């Protein structure tokens, strides 16, 4: 899941002419990653096309990610078993 | 749970310390013309002055009931105003910045009733510049300025007319991801 997210982030950044940080790790704060708000909205939409769900619509209580690691964990949590 | 609600509410005393912490964070402060640290007493004076200030409106952004940022309007006069915003919290629904853009235009033209909205952004802050362009702001000017702490920077001015937003709103929202369109329908002002 993490690899898929990173690949999509790179694609979306390239399509939109924005520069992603080179040193993105699990601890990178998403707001500091270089991808902007539109980029993240597109990322969630593209992930929904690829994995078949938007985890933010499946939560009973809203839990939003601060870091890349938290974003990956949210998607992992809702992956079909 | 579907999409988050976005409510923009007046500033209450209970939240002014959190706003001060947001405002003093490096991420927020570095993109402000007044880039100095705000003291507790300055914050209290600012809050006490809000009811008297007819030329400024500040609203707290509540995302599904949780305070996450600020939306504000200044220099409201002669049918025009400037606006700004920030996300104080870092854990927010993906796309929250777009909701702030939509809320700013709807609030300025629908609640304040100004004819023109002005946004000023530092040229080295690409995210809001790009969002302004996506929404159809006109870039009208660039000027050199100094922040309150004395840093020289370039300020880019964008403008948007009320008539332009009324005509373009549906088309602009239609170009955004579906989740944003659905969340935009849940924006409320108090």
Residues B27-63 pLDDT 10s? 999 999 999 999 999 999 999 999 999 999 999 999 9
Which of B27, B91, B179 is facing A65, going by the closest CB pair? B91
Could you tell me the pTM of the whole model?
0.94
Which of B87, B91, B179 is facing A45, going by the closest CB pair? B179
Per-residue pLDDT at B2: 81
Mean predicted confidence (pLDDT) in A58-63:
88
Mean predicted confidence (pLDDT) in B79-100:
96
Contacts with B31 from chain A: Cβ below 8 Å: none
A6/B133 Cα distance (integer angstroms)? 26
Contacts of B14 (CB under 8 A, 6+ apart): none
The model's pLDDT over A3-22, given as tens digits with 9 standing for 90+, comes to 999 999 999 999 988 889 98
Share of chain B above pLDDT 90, in %: 97
Higher pLDDT, B54 or B104: B104
Min Cα–Cα distance to chain B from A21, Å: 13
Q: CA separation (Å) from A24 to A5, A36, B93, B142, B172? A: 12, 15, 20, 32, 31
The CA-to-CA distance between both ends of chain A, in Å, stands at 14
- Whether residues B94 and A64 touch (CB distance < 8 A) is answered with yes
Per-residue pLDDT at B148: 96
Closest CA to B103 of B60, B47, B144: B60
Burial of B24 (0-12, 13-18, 19+ CB in 10 A): middle
């Amino acid at each position: 899941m993490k690899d898929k997210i990173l690949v999509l982030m790179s694609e979306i950044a390239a399509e939109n002419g924005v520069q992603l940080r080179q040193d993105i790790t699990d601890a990178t704060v998403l707001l500091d990653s270089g991808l902007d708000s539109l980029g993240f909205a597109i990322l969630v939409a593209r992930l929904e096309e690829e994995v078949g769900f938007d985890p933010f619509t499946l939560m009973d209580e809203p839990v939003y990610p601060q870091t890349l690691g938290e974003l990956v964990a949210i998607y992992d949590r809702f992956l079909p078993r | 749970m579907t999409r988050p609600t976005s409510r923009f509410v007046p500033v209450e005393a209970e939240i002014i310390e959190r706003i001060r912490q947001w405002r003093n964070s490096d991420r927020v402060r570095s993109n402000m013309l007044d880039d100095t640290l705000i003291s507790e007493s300055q914050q209290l004076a600012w809050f006490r002055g809000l009811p008297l200030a007819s030329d400024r409106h500040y609203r707290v952004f509540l995302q599904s009931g949780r305070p996450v940022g600020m939306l504000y309007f200044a220099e409201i006069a002669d049918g025009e105003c400037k606006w700004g915003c920030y996300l104080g919290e870092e854990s927010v629904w993906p796309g929250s910045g777009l909701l702030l853009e939509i809320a700013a235009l709807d609030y300025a033209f629908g609640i304040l009733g100004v004819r023109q909205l002005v946004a000023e952004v530092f040229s080295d802050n690409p995210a809001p510049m790009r969002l302004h362009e996506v929404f159809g702001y006109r870039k009208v000017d660039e000027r050199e300025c100094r922040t309150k702490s004395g840093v020289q920077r370039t300020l880019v001015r964008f403008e948007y007319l009320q008539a332009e937003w009324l005509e373009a709103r549906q088309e602009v929202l239609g170009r955004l991801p579906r989740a944003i369109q659905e969340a935009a329908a849940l924006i409320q002002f108090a």
